[in-house]
Structure 1
Amino acid sequence: MQTQQIDRLPLTDCRFCSLVSKTNGEDPIGTAGTCDHWLIMEIPQPWSQNIFQENATIKALISLFQEIIVKHGINLRPMLIAPDRDYSHPGFTRVLYYYRPTKLFSQFEKQEFVLPKKEAIPLVTAILKQLIQQPNDLSKFQQYQQQTSHIRELMVCTHAQVDLACGRFGTPLYRRLRKEYAPAANGKLRVWQTTHFGGHQFAPTLADLPQGCLWGHLEPEVLDSLVKRNGSVVDLRKFYRGWTGLTKFEQIAEREIWMQLGWTWLDYLKAGKVVAIEEVGQGQEADWAEVRIDYADAAPDESLSGAYEARVEVSGEVISALSSGKEMELKAVKQYRVSRLVKVE
């Protein structure tokens, strides 16, 4: 059935993985990845496919990134953003650092620095060393710190050199958000072009910070609801990749709670836990998991708190494409549903 759906795509569109994914009804939920830290740095375009290994400014950081992510197992997501004519300053580099503040949280804490280009790598190095408790001189960069915790940042992947779909679908979405929504936000919203942050089969894909939600397969008609957080959340269900404060099965359960409670849910402090999961071999995905989502009111006294328990189960498979091109690699992807959701406390 899925192959027939692929065949119904116009020949000119068959090279885009995200159209195969979307046409076949692949649900993006659970694909956001889990983050404890985001490190985002301004680097001018063009961006090559292997920008992190090839760019002279940042390739010196690769070994430190690898030590943090691979050796220490820290969930760090490095990204690059393109300088903007209105936001950026010639001769200076912007560095955004987001981090998980507590076990239960609703959005990431933010530190932003705008500093001379020659100071950017020493700053990033100090931030990274801080994560693995190595000596650092982060304090000397305080003079460059910006007070921008009130600004929401929408990050749209336009990294066509990694996958054509991100350029083809991400760029128009970025332009629309940048032209129509950012100027109307009275300085409380910025929109950026970013390098790849995973999931090009869901292009156009977007990261919403400081909340940390990821979105995919976005369409122009849902932008009002996403940006202004109004209207029915059900209309955004099929575009939600998940909240990066949780793991895959927790993200799937969390979406169901959001569907029930609406927009107010996003402001609750949250934490997730996989209580039980099917045992499978290495590289295989479980067919089911039992998860628990704890939550608390964001008010200082946390007067309202509780938990949900959910069972997540496989509901079927669809065929998706892993990357764009004339000869795409197709793969069967498991789809999941929440078969039970109970408020337990």
Structure 2
Amino acid sequence: MQTQNTLQISLTDCRFCSLVSKANSEDQIGTAVTCDRWVIMEFRQPWTLESFQQNPILKALMTGFQQVVLQHGINLRPMLIAPDREYSVPNFTRVLYYYRPAKMFAKFEKQEYLVPEGETIDLITAILNHSVNQPNDLPRFQQYQQQTNHIREILVCTHAQIDLACGRFGTPLYRRLRKEYAPVANGKLRVWQTSHFGGHQFAPTLADFPQGRLWGHLEPQVLDLLIQQNGSHSDLRQYYRGWSGLTKFEQIAEREIWMQLGWSWFDYLKAGEIVAQEQVDDKHEANWAEVRIHFAATDGSTSGIYEARIEAIGEVMSALNSGKPMQLKPVKQYHVSHLVKIQ
């Protein structure tokens, strides 16, 4: 897909993985982390490896996360957000808990807490136990719950300690969104710096809640469209990483449906399923898959199923991490070869 000259230019002129990915036209769709639950906690920067290993609050978060994922098979993602001069309260910790409300859904449900710092570990423990339907004391934190379901949260990865590209490209994007978009949103939009949530080769990348959609390789000229969502949706096609309510191949199909239906598609309840897929070992990715996307209007006025076939169309070379020397890896690219509404 890319010439050798293009590849050499990418390797010579940059040390950021996201520039190589972008120069070699890597398609981002299907790279959104699949999640049932997100636990997002305020924690001051820097977010170093040592802090994750030594800070008691972060150790509790990561230990609990590993138990939920490994022992219970729940797709849960922990994230950190940097305290904000306007949003944050001294000596208190804000925790956002997003969860899938049903098999078919359009956006994640949210519970937000603002607790004294000394109770942060107990709250995190209660949330993690709640996420796997274990006994918990989450009701005792009701006094700290915040009524913020009307607020849209934009989380921009600026986690330079994980990859330099996120700091280099994520930070300016965060500052622009925070300065230009949040203040004029009448209290309905907050913009945060966040820790890594996957895909630093797509920096600058952000997560948009409560929908749970991920975007990457973002450029200033598309921010109006992304935030306001009232223009030509097809102009955002190349920036869309996918909806975290679906798995990889389902995300690829979902983008094509969005391209056909427009912004209204985001409001439909949705669920995906893999009907068939090439059988491969753990070291390889399937060359094809057949999926179904079930959908329904929130008012029950319409429902149906889309059926799609996704097929590999080649590979591009991408850098999964920034630095020198740049290490490249072939990344399989896909397209939707067949899409039909079957009912």
TM-score range, shorter-chain basis? over 0.9
- Kindly indicate whether the alpha-carbon contact (under 8 Å) linking 1:32 and 1:248 is maintained by their aligned counterparts in 2: yes
Measure the CA separation in 2 of the matches of 1:100 and 1:282. Answer: 28
Written as runs of structure 1 = structure 2, the 5 A alignment for 1:189-200 is: 189-200=189-200
Deviation, 1:131, is 2.0
Written as runs of structure 1 = structure 2, the 5 A alignment for 1:172-183 is: 172-183=172-183
Measure the CA separation in 2 of the matches of 1:318 and 1:9. Answer: 13
Deviation, 1:6, is 2.7
Written as runs of structure 1 = structure 2, the 5 A alignment for 1:31-110 is: 31-49=31-49, 51-110=51-110
Measure the CA separation in 1 of the matches of 2:24 and 2:51. Answer: 32
Q: Which residue of 2 aligns with 1:321?
A: 319
Measure the CA separation in 2 of the matches of 1:101 and 1:213. Answer: 16
Structure 1 unmatched ranges of 5 or more = none
Q: Which residue of 2 aligns with 1:334?
A: 332
Written as runs of structure 1 = structure 2, the 5 A alignment for 1:163-312 is: 163-299=163-299, 302-312=300-310
- Kindly indicate whether the alpha-carbon contact (under 8 Å) linking 1:113 and 1:145 is maintained by their aligned counterparts in 2: yes
Higher mean Cα deviation, 326-335 or 196-205?
Answer: 326-335
Deviation, 1:64, is 1.9
Amino acid aligned to 1:303? S
Measure the CA separation in 1 of the matches of 2:50 and 2:68. Answer: 19
Q: Which residue of 2 aligns with 1:24?
A: 24
Deviation, 1:328, is 2.1
Measure the CA separation in 1 of the matches of 2:11 and 2:127. Answer: 47
Indicate yes or no: 2:7 matched with 1:6.
yes
SS for the counterpart of 1:325 is coil
SS for the counterpart of 2:325 is coil
Measure the CA separation in 2 of the matches of 1:22 and 1:80. Answer: 26
Deviation, 1:135, is 1.9
Alpha-carbon deviations, 1:63-90, whole Å to 9, x = none? 2211111121110010000000000000
Measure the CA separation in 1 of the matches of 2:100 and 2:283. Answer: 28
- Kindly indicate whether the alpha-carbon contact (under 8 Å) linking 2:114 and 2:146 is maintained by their aligned counterparts in 1: yes
Deviation, 1:198, is 0.3
Measure the CA separation in 2 of the matches of 1:30 and 1:50. Answer: 31
Measure the CA separation in 1 of the matches of 2:194 and 2:166. Answer: 10
- Kindly indicate whether the alpha-carbon contact (under 8 Å) linking 2:62 and 2:78 is maintained by their aligned counterparts in 1: no
- Kindly indicate whether the alpha-carbon contact (under 8 Å) linking 2:65 and 2:77 is maintained by their aligned counterparts in 1: no
Measure the CA separation in 2 of the matches of 1:148 and 1:339. Answer: 41
- Kindly indicate whether the alpha-carbon contact (under 8 Å) linking 1:2 and 1:319 is maintained by their aligned counterparts in 2: no
Measure the CA separation in 1 of the matches of 2:192 and 2:269. Answer: 27
- Kindly indicate whether the alpha-carbon contact (under 8 Å) linking 1:2 and 1:318 is maintained by their aligned counterparts in 2: no
SS for the counterpart of 1:8 is helix
- Kindly indicate whether the alpha-carbon contact (under 8 Å) linking 2:37 and 2:131 is maintained by their aligned counterparts in 1: no
Identity in percent: 69
Deviation, 1:123, is 0.5
SS for the counterpart of 1:341 is strand
Measure the CA separation in 2 of the matches of 1:42 and 1:250. Answer: 32
Deviation, 1:233, is 1.1
C-alpha RMSD over aligned residues: 1.2
SS for the counterpart of 1:90 is coil
Measure the CA separation in 2 of the matches of 1:50 and 1:283. Answer: 31
Deviation, 1:57, is 2.2
Deviation, 1:10, is 8.2
SS for the counterpart of 1:173 is helix
